Structure 1
Amino acid sequence: MKSTAARTPAERQALNEAARWHTRLHDEAATPEDLQAWQHWHSAHPSHQWAWQTVQAVSQRLARIPTPVAMQALAQPPMARRTALRGVALGLGGCAATWLAWQASPWQALGASYHTATGERQQLGLPDGSELALDTATAVDEHFDANDRRLSLRSGRIQISTRPDLHQRPFSVQTPQGSVLALGTQFTVQVLDAQHTRVAVQEKSVRVQPTHGEARLLVAGQQMDFSSTAALPPHPAHLAQASWRDGGLIALDMPLAELVQELARYRPGYLGCAPEVAHLQVSGAFTLDNTDRALAALAASFAVQVHYRTRYWVRVEAA
């Protein structure tokens, strides 16, 4: 399999779209209209077919279900569809993760224009017609006036799909480390901790401006971390940056440490991994709405075990 870094921007864009479609079609709220829209996307370009096959291949259980059967299951009532597609979230690779020590605190959501609790996601429209998606434990403020369209991200992660503005007002996202200016695009912004912000671009480009550093351009298929003084070099964006909005985590050659770190954001308490399994690589499709199920898939597929000391203290260890 070609490495993530070796893929072209067009291939990475197609993979991002395929990841979004995968989680959308395997959500129990998927509709026949979703299936028709996916079929239109799938047949539009050979790169879409290649990307879909790649994303399908990283989910072992789904790969065992004949495509017509899987597609038929999507048209069934929710309870039947849930049974038919149960177990789709299965990883193929290995584990480890450090717990996010810096997490959104309840006080960060106080007075915010929009906010979500741990494990909750939300999608809404902004006054200019742009779309905003909030990830778990996110708090964001909206500042729209005659001259500016600005969101201030206090904590968590958001995805923005901007729309043209009749008044040509700039659209930006402010974080404690700087600002991200949209250049007609779709992108995600995440406050990683007290010192760093991560930006990933799904369409077109953005301009990243650290508060006390040099501005950098980031284009589709790339992600970048930055502090208040500097932006790190860009690198290919993880598929997880595109798939979380629809409730799925698509991992492709992801260190298990990163996978468990992502899952930890969707549950209260501590979720970590033992150092001896931290380097293992993971590819697969995991549900974010039931992290216990995702952890069970890891334990069923690899030489790891999930140690529950309590519901709020969980660790992935070597079997």
Structure 2
Amino acid sequence: MTDDGAALPVDPALLEEAAEWVLRLRYERPGAADHQAFEAWLGQGEAQARAWARAEKVLGAFDALPAGIGPQAVRLAQRRGARRTANRRAVLRAGAGLVLAAPVAWLAWREQPWQVWTADLSTGTGERRSLTLDDGTQLVLNTASAVSVRFTPTERRLVLHAGEVFVETGHADPAGRPLRVETPWGEVEPQGTRFTVRRLAPGVQVAVFQHAVLWRPVTGDAIRLGAGEQARFLPGAEPVQSVVDASALLWRQGMLVARNMRLADLLAELGRYRPGVLRCDPAVADLPVSGALSLADTDAALDTLQGQLPLRVRRFSRYWVSVGPA
């Protein structure tokens, strides 16, 4: 697996230990004995160092909060975590899922699956990441995404825990192992192809840009999707199929192309790439929008919308933005 910061698997037990140290050293009052014990733990080997780096990255997001909010958010997570299991692992899971944005936003925290922050590969909000796996398969992770890589002697499996991933299969596997992308609702098996898989809330969207894939639901018959086709698979509902074009992949270059897109839907998409709340006033929700916008600079995208449409963008803070009529 190669990229500019390829993640190696980390033992979940060591991650829990590392999380204990992050919380203790950052949000409590450690003494000299605590620091000595931490140095002894960290010095045990490379595995501990990787676990520490991963845990720091997750909980280090508290540092981006306004002064005083980080410890307050941790205490909130502690209270809610204590009601569930009364241990520090629950505190960590709650903390890792906080909407780390502003005094208003952290009150609306949500808990993410434990696998999300222990995934082999992940991206933060607004971040994209490209890499090539050992078998030649190319991946691009979209914003706020998490994938685990599970290669065994009999199969190659990618587990999509959150977000969206673009997959371009490499050459045929010498061992003949099938490649599958797993989600809670089913799995995608490509047939020499380029495709994306995106987790919804709940459900999955699969889009195919070359060749074909098979969607194998947890229950029911497999469905084949060919190039230019996409489908949404929602629990308890029939698949919703539609046409997809190549511009849907421009997020890999940090761009969003809209063609008569509802403003509310466009802002929901932009909101995936920025922290905090991006609100759309119902009075302008159905306004049609066409054009190209930057996902790499969502503030510039909002300014573009305001300059071209009868809209006003109100920024109450970096983390709370509302778009309404001019």
Same fold, judged at TM 0.5 (above): yes
Correspondence 1:209 to 2:221: no
Deviates more, 1:281-290 or 1:149-158: 281-290
Contact 1:104 1:138 in 2 (8 A): no
Q: Which runs of 5+ in 2 are unaligned?
A: 1-107
Q: Is the 8 A contact 2:138 2:167 kept in 1?
A: yes
Q: Alpha carbon RMSD of aligned pairs, Å?
A: 2.0
Unpaired runs of at least 5, structure 1: 1-100
CA distance in 2, matches of 1:147, 1:255: 45
Question: So what's the TM-score if we normalise by structure 2?
Answer: 0.63
Establish whether residue 221 from structure 1 lines up as the match of residue 228 from structure 2.
yes
Once superposed, which parts of structure 1, at least 4 consecutive aligned residues long, lie more than 6 Å away? 101-104
Q: Does 1:144 align with 2:151?
A: yes
Question: 1:182 corresponds to which residue?
Answer: 190
1:120–1:136 contact (8 Å) kept in structure 2: yes
Separation in 2 of the partners of 1:274 and 1:104?
27
Structure of higher CA gyration radius: 2
Residues 208 and 225 in structure 2, CA contact (< 8 A), matched pair in contact too: yes
Match of 1:245 in 2: 252
Alpha-carbon contact 2:214-2:222 (below 8 Å) kept: yes
Q: Is the aligned partner of 1:192 residue 2:194?
A: no
CA contact (8 A) 1:104 1:155 kept: no
Counterparts of 2:114 and 2:253 in 1: how far apart (Å)? 27
| Offset of residue 239 of structure 1 | 5.3
State the AA in 2 paired with 1:264: G
Report deviation, 1:228. Answer: 4.3
Q: What does 1:31-70 align with in structure 2 at a 5 Å threshold?
A: none
2:135 corresponds to: 128
What is the deviation of 1:247?
A: 1.1
Mapped to 2, the partners of 1:230 and 1:318 lie a distance apart of 36
Q: CA deviation at 1:233?
A: 3.1
- Alpha-carbon spacing, 1:102–1:137, altered in 2? closer, same or farther (3 Å): farther
1:110 counterpart letter in structure 2: W
Q: Shift in Å at residue 230 of structure 1?
A: 4.8
SS of 1:234 mapped into structure 2: strand
Q: Which residue of 2 aligns with 1:170?
A: 178
Counterpart contact for 2:209–2:246, Cα < 8 Å: no
Structure 2 residue matching 1:214: 3-state secondary structure: coil
